[in-house]
Structure 1
Amino acid sequence: MIRPVLWGLGVIAAMTVAWPAAAEVTLSSSNNPTVALDERLSALVGAESRTLTSVRGKSLSRLIEAPKAGGKGADGIYSRDRLASLPKADGGKEWTCLTEALYFEARGETLKGIFGVAEVILNRVDDPRYPSSVCGVVNQGTGERYRCQFSYTCDGRPEVMNERPARDLVGKVARMMLDGAPRVLTGGATHYHTKSVKPRWSRVFPRTTTIGFHHFYRQPDRVAKR
C-alpha cells in the first residue's frame, strides 16, 4: 500500500522542486547509459526524499492513512439533505405498506427515529415468529380494534397521508431500507413504544436503545433468521 503513495509523492516532488533542482535529474550526455540511469535515479530519489522531509505530521498521515469508517459517509444515510437530493421514491405493495407505517407511526420523529421504526418492521419480517412480508407485519392483528400490532391499522380512522413533505420523506426512507440500507440503530429491536406509555412486555423485554420519543426493545429468546 505504501509504494503507490511514494510514487504519488515522487510526482509531487517533480512538480514542486525548483528549476535548479530539476537540472539535477537531466540525463547525462555520457556515452555510458548505465551511469546516466544511475545518476537520474539517484537524483529522483534525492528529490523525493527532500519532499517527504518537507511534509510534516498530519499532512503526511493524511497521504498514507485510509479513510476512517464512521465518518461523513457513514452518517450520510441519516442526512435530511441527502434524502432531499434523492428522486421521489416509489415501489410496489411492500414499499407502500412500509411507507404508510412510517408515516403514521413515526413522521413526527427525528430522521433516525423514522429509520429505527423501519428497522423494527424489517427485523420482524426476518423473524420466523412474525409474518414474512412487510404488509403482513404491519397488518398483523388488524380487524380487532386496538388489538393490532401497529395501532394506526385498527384505530377506526382511514389511512390518508395528507402531509406531502412527510409522505415523500418516509417514502424515501422506505425505499432505502427495502433496498438494503444497514440496520445499525436499534440493536435488532422487534418492538418499540412511545415514552408516554409503558406496556407490560416492556418490563421483560431488554431495551436496546432510545431514539427521540421511542424506546426500542428486542424480544427475548429470538430464534435464528430464515
Structure 2
Amino acid sequence: MRTVLGRLTRAAGLAALVALTGATAQADDLLASRLGAVLGQEREALRVVPSSRMAALTAPPPAEARNIQTGPLVVSYDRAFLAGQPRASGGAEWECLSEALYFEARGESVRGMFAVAEVILNRVDSRAYPNSICAVVNQGTGRRYACQFTYTCDGNAETIHEPAAWARVGKVARLMVDGAPRELTAGATHYHTKAVSPSWARRFPRTASIGSHYFYRQPTRTASN
C-alpha cells in the first residue's frame, strides 16, 4: 500500500513540475514578446532624433565634471596641501628626484623643497646639463666632493632613515615630474646654503632666497663670450 501511495505521490509531483515548467516557459515567451515590442518602439523613436543630438546624449561628461586634471597642475606650497596628496611612487626619474630632495632639502619648508626640485628640472631642460633627472643628479658622481650634488659623492651611504620625510619629498617629486609649475626660482640652475659662499655665486645672478638656500641662474653664454 505504501509503495502504491509513494508512486502516486511521485507521479503527482512530476505532473505539477511539468505544469509549472510549461507555465514558466509561456511566461518567458510572453515577456520576450513584450520586451521585443517595447524595444522596437524605442528604435523607431530614436530614428527621428538628429545625429548631432544623439552624439550629445551619448557623449561622456567633460573631464572637468569627472574631476580629471586637464590643465596645468595647481600647487599650494604648504604642508596641508602636501598632506592631502596621495602617496607617491614612480620610476627611476621619480626616484632620483625624490632622493635628491630627501638628502638636499628634506628639512626645508614645502616651498623650499619645490624650489630645489625646480633647479634640478631646470638643469634637465638646459643644454648645458644632461637631459634626464638621474643624469643631472648624478653628474660628477665618483669624484669625491667634485659632483654637482654633494650627497652623491661625500662617501656616506645614501640610506633613508626618515620614512615620513621620504613620503613628503616623494609627493613633491611626483608633482614636479607630472608638470607642476616652476614659479619660485625664476629659472634657477644653482643653489647653495646661506652658510657658504661659493665663488660662482659672485658671477651668477641671484633669483630667489627661500629658507636656508639662495638660488641663482647660470648666465647664458653667447658667441662673443
What's the TM-score, normalizing by structure 1? 0.64
Structure 1 partner of 2:124: 125
**Which consecutive unaligned segments of at least 5 residues does structure 2 have?**
1-72
- Counterpart CA distance in 1 for 2:208 and 2:81 is 25
Superposition map of 1:21-60 within 5 A: none
Aligned-residue offset at 1:75: 7.8
Which moved further from structure 2: 189-198 or 83-92?
83-92
Taking only aligned residues, the RMSD between alpha carbons, in angstroms, comes to 1.4
Post-superposition offset of 1:79: 2.2
Would you identify which runs of 4 or more consecutive aligned residues in structure 1 move more than 2 Å?
Answer: 74-77
Match of 1:79 in 2: 78
Letter in 2 for 1:189: A
CA distance in 2, matches of 1:202, 1:139: 22
**In structure 2, C-alpha distance between the alignment counterparts of 1:111 and 1:162, rounded to whole Å:** 19
Shift of 1:77: 2.4
Aligned to 2:167: 168
Indicate the residue corresponding to 2:98 in structure 1. 99
Mapped to 2, the partners of 1:142 and 1:208 lie a distance apart of 27
| Equivalenced residues, count | 150
Give the structure 2 partner of residue 66 of structure 1.
Answer: none
Bigger Cα Rg: 2
Which residue does 1:217 correspond to in 2?
216
Q: Indicate if the aligned counterparts of 2:105 and 2:116 stay in contact, CA closer than 8 A.
A: yes
SS of residue matched to 1:77: coil
Contact 2:75 2:180 in 1 (8 A): no
What is the aligned partner in structure 2 of residue 194 from structure 1?
193
Q: C-alpha displacement at 1:221, in angstroms?
A: 1.1
Cα 1:176–1:222 change in 2 (3 A) is farther
Q: What whole-Å deviation, never above 9, does each CA across 1:29-67 have from its counterpart, x for those lacking one?
A: xxxxxxxxxxxxxxxxxxxxxxxxxxxxxxxxxxxxxxx
Equivalent residue of 1:173, what SS? helix
1:161/1:194 CA distance change after superposition, 3 Å:
same
Give yes or no for contact 2:102–2:166 (8 Å, CA) kept in 1.
yes
1:150 match? 149
Deviation at 1:121, TM superposition (A): 0.0
Q: Structure 2-normalised TM-score? A: 0.65
Secondary structure of residue in 2 paired with 1:98 = helix
CA distance in 2, matches of 1:157, 1:222: 35
In 1, the alpha carbon distance for the partners of 2:133 and 2:193 equals 21
Between the aligned partners of 2:74 and 2:86, the Cα distance in structure 1 is: 19
Percent of aligned pairs sharing the same letter: 65
Is the Cα–Cα contact under 8 Å of residues 190 and 215 in structure 2 kept in the other structure?
A: yes
Pairwise CA distance, 1:170 = 0.2
The CA deviation at 1:110 is: 1.1
- Equivalent residue for 2:136? 137
- Aligned counterpart, 2:60: none
Determine the C-alpha separation between the residues in 2 that align with 1:123 and 1:75.
19
The letter for the 1-side match of 2:87 is: K
Q: Is the 8 A contact 2:205 2:219 kept in 1?
A: yes
